[in-house]
Amino acid sequence: MTIGEKITEWYLENGRDLPWRNSQNAYKVWISEVILQQTRIAQGIDYFYRFIERFPDIQSLANAEIDEVLKYWEGLGYYSRARNLYAAAQELMTKYEGKFPTHHSEIIKLKGIGPYTARAIGSFAFGNQTGVIDGNVLRVMSRVLNDFSPIDDAKTRNKFQEIIDVWVEKTDSAPFNHGIMDIGSTICTPTKPACLICPLETDCIGRKEGSMHLLPIKGKKMLRPTRYFHFYFIYNSEKELAILRRPEKGLWGGLYEIPNEEVEMAVWEGKKVGFEGKYLGGFKHVFTHFDMELQFFDLGNEAGKVAENLLINAFFIPVEKIQAYAFSKAVLKIFDKVL
């Protein structure tokens, strides 16, 4: 029995029952894969149901307002994913008559869709004979092959893609790909892999060599920079809160926020601002490429005293209307602590 056949057979008996696996609907596969790129499955299921209920198909997503799409994405982070979904839905309506291309080589041309998502849609929705590689699959393959090449190197991923495309030959690609992902998630875990119940135990060179706990290998990580920010609660005479919308591109693109500014570490350490204001708290927010140390202050009715650049493009809303706007996860956490 080949590796591909073992994985497929194991999945049909032991695979996880997830909502997006019960359909070959390319749209639902797409939404689920994008949500799960940076979200744990347990958390992602609720977001998936919520998003699909409001935007059940390509047309409903394409015809929506971007503010509403961002609101339904609120809390998932990496909001460029939501903006790309929206742009790709409109592209599908105008260029593809509201239907997905059926091969991953065409799907990858859509906005925001990379090799992984394109192959996932191609396999799960259209049966493309291709392997789908995510972090779990990279770990399984590194151990099975006993390969010490850094998995964050493009050469390694390309090499593994060629190998997994051989493994998937003569199998039903969807259960094969679901299966190898599930093996990585539930059996071949980062620590304490359950080798004795793994369907690939006899094929795994890492198991035979006793090196599975050393794999996979990642290249050297660069030190993560830290940036420091002050966020401000500013009210007008009606006790309405100042908010503003971020530019479409860049950090938290298109989302709303309260006035804020980046400051030097020495200023942040002093927990003070250059005008009257009450320190309310602070915490660290982690991004992919840097850490944000943020503090927040209540400036009360200080609109006239605050530096003008903080209130450029700002407007005031009743505090009870906050739920109508899409904010980043960090700002929502500030609201939770203060409001």
Residue listed under structure tokens 């770990």: 139
Residue pair 278/338 in contact by the 8 Å Cβ criterion = no
Q: Provide the edge-to-edge strand list for the sheet that holds 241-245.
A: 256-257, 241-245, 315-317
Residues 198 and 229 sit within 8 Å (Cβ to Cβ): no
Is 33 marked active-site? yes
In the set 5, 9, 13, 33, the catalytic residue is 33
Residue 129 · residue 175 · CB < 8 Å:
no
Name the burial class of residue 54, with classes exposed (0-12), middle (13-18) and buried (19+) by CB atoms within 10 angstroms of its CB.
middle
Nearest Cα to 19, choosing from 33, 8, 39, 2?
Answer: 33
Q: 146 CB contacts (<8 Å, ≥6 apart)? A: 204, 205, 206, 208, 209, 211, 215
d(CA 206, CA 195): 10
Catalytic sites, residue numbers: 33
